[in-house]
Chain A
Amino acid sequence: MSNQTQDMNQKNGKLVIKLVAIVFGMFGFAFALVPLYEVFCEITGINGKTSDTAAVYEAVEVDRSRVITVEFITRTNTGMPWEFTAQTRKIEVYPGEMNQVDFYVKNSTAKDYVAQAIPSVSPGTAALYVNKTECFCFNHQPLKAGEEALMPMKFYIDPQLPKDIKFFTLQYTLYDVTASAQVVAMNQG
């Protein structure tokens, strides 16, 4: 009898260890969902975010058979008092062609600010085909009190862009990240 109990307990113990491993695995999986989601978005464009690293423009064939209209929208979020406008509201481009659009920012307040621009594309699928070789949204953008600046964004559209997309919108929202940028600066300094 007690031998049997002993066996049973060993058996139970082994199974419990396996199950607890699943539990920890799934807890880890919840956090793994964060990078997985990003990868998933990069593949499917599910959330309409463009890549946050610079693309390289080489050996891209320009497709002159169709024209894509790109619309730019600029917004500043709560707590971000800058003026922020796109110099071009709408442009028509050929896929594969290199383009530049400038964005104007002005900090007319008496305080220094650091901004972060967050891009968003609609329809989201188009985000996969927007390749930026240079963008102010890759980095924090500091402006001292009263400063203004022209921020360039260079991009081309991947000629692989699905034929049914003829028009898309690229929005930048400017966030005030002064506080967190200072923390980072302090940690590095």
Chain B
Amino acid sequence: MKKIWSGAMTILTSIIAFSAFADSGTAVDQYQLNLRKGVTDISAEVYDLHMLMFIICVVIGLLVFAAMFWSMFFHRKSRGVKPANFHESVKVEIAWTIIPFIILIVMAFPAAKTLIAMEDSSNPDVTVLVTGSQWKWHYKYMENDVEFFSVMATQQEQINNKFDKGENYLLEVDRPLVIPTGQKVRFLVTSDDVIHSWWVPDFAVKKDANPGFINEAWTRVNEPGIYRGQCAELCGKDHGFMPVVVVAKDPAEYNAWIAEQEEMQRKAKEEEQRLLAMNMSMDELMTIGEQVYLRACAACHQPNGQGLPGVFPSLVGTDMIKNDMPGHIDIVVNGKTGTAMQAFSKQLTMSEIAAVVTYERNAWGNNTGEMVQAKDINAVMTGQ
């Protein structure tokens, strides 16, 4: 009998420990036990709602368990108890149907209020189009001429346990989304391939990215800072490696940043045109090509070009590699409808595409000896 009592105590203490820890959760970040309050008014409301629900549930649970353990302890046969005879009571039955119902209504009101506020994305100050694709995010500022891909920056060596893991392991990207503080930022969320879900816990924003459809969410961040999240809907092999990083800056800094980005993207386009006239050497193409390949292609086609049989095709010695250079360029530039093969014209510069195509046609024993230059890519993209 002692055993049962101690088992019961274990469960009870763990529940109590949970509720006691819950409040100090944010203070001890290392052992975070609870939902975070976040940095927006909405996320704070969501947190309060969560705590309200949690406390109600703990109280209900404790009452039920207390009654149960009371009878387990006092109404045991070993104490010589004779069983009572009752097995029905309409009054009691009605009471414990009605009372939970009333508790539910109490819960539902604040929940509905918060929900309606969360779904009201009207009158935004900034709008960002968020597009998920396997396995990266693309951000486009609708009011400005700025758009870029955001890819996980954690090195493969850290994931494969060859290097030590950094502080923000798996939660770091090459180019974070930047938004202004104190302004209403609206996110239009969509996808290029499968369903993804864009999630930043500190904003209490999680929206599915559905291919062909748009969803909306919004936030108004109070504190400047770096906020990290992840893709929350299984989207294939590298679902776990698709972080979201958002940097909130005060409006002045944000405006400076966005102007700088516009300028940079304009210059990059000019630079690309200039590079069209230049030919790169085989060595240059192969060096750049390998870097680009590992960054953009290796997730599916694998670092050794072999792909994953039955899932992602091999690039070694195939007909397209050996005999069909235009087809090869076309598939890299435009992607292939209805497959995981994306269009890289939006993600890579022409010289990068040229380098990676050259690399694929000469690495891993493919050795076609063929070189592709940026102007060849340009020819495909402009139909010349």
Contacts and interface: CB of A to CB of B under 8 A. Distances in A.
Do A and B interact directly, with beta carbons closer than 8 Å? yes
Interface of A: 47-49, 71, 73, 75, 77-81, 89, 107-111, 118, 120-123, 145-146, 165-167, 169, 171, 173, 175-176, 179
22 contacts: A47-B213, A73-B142, A75-B190, A78-B336, A78-B341, A79-B335, A79-B338, A80-B337, A81-B345, A107-B383, A108-B381, A108-B383, A109-B382, A121-B214, A122-B214, A123-B121, A123-B216, A167-B122, A169-B214, A171-B188, A171-B214, A173-B211
Q: Give the most central of A123, A146, A166: most B CB within 10 Å.
A: A123
A109 B377 CA distance: 11
Contacts of B333: 81
Given A110-B383, A122-B214, A79 B336 contact: yes
B129 interface: yes
A73 B188 contact: yes
Contacts of B338: 79
Interface string B190-219: 101100000000000000000111111000
Contacts of A121: 214
**Dominant secondary structure at the A interface:** loop
B152 to A, nearest CB: 20
Nearest to B333: A81
Contacts of B334: 79-81, 109
A117 to B, nearest CB: 10
A73 B129 contact: yes
A187 to B, nearest CB: 19
A108 B381 CA distance: 7
Contacts, number: 88
Contacts of B213: 47-49, 120
A173 B216 contact: no
Contacts of A81: 333-334, 343, 345, 381
B8 interface: no
Nearest to A177: B337
Contacts of B122: 165-167
Interface in B317-368: 333-338, 341-343, 345
Given A122-B216, A171-B190, A77 B211 contact: yes
Interface in B127-174: 127, 129, 131, 133, 142
A122 B123 contact: no
A77 B133 CA distance: 10
Given A48-B214, A73-B214, A79-B336, 6 more contacts: A77-B192, A77-B212, A78-B337, A78-B341, A108-B382, A179-B337
Nearest to B186: A169
A79 B343 contact: yes
Interface in B108-133: 119, 121-123, 127, 129, 131, 133
B64 interface: no
Nearest to B346: A76
Interface string B206-238: 000001111110000000000000000000000
Quick one: which of B119, B121, B213 has the most chain A CB within 10 A?
B213
A175 B337 contact: yes
B380 A110 contact: yes
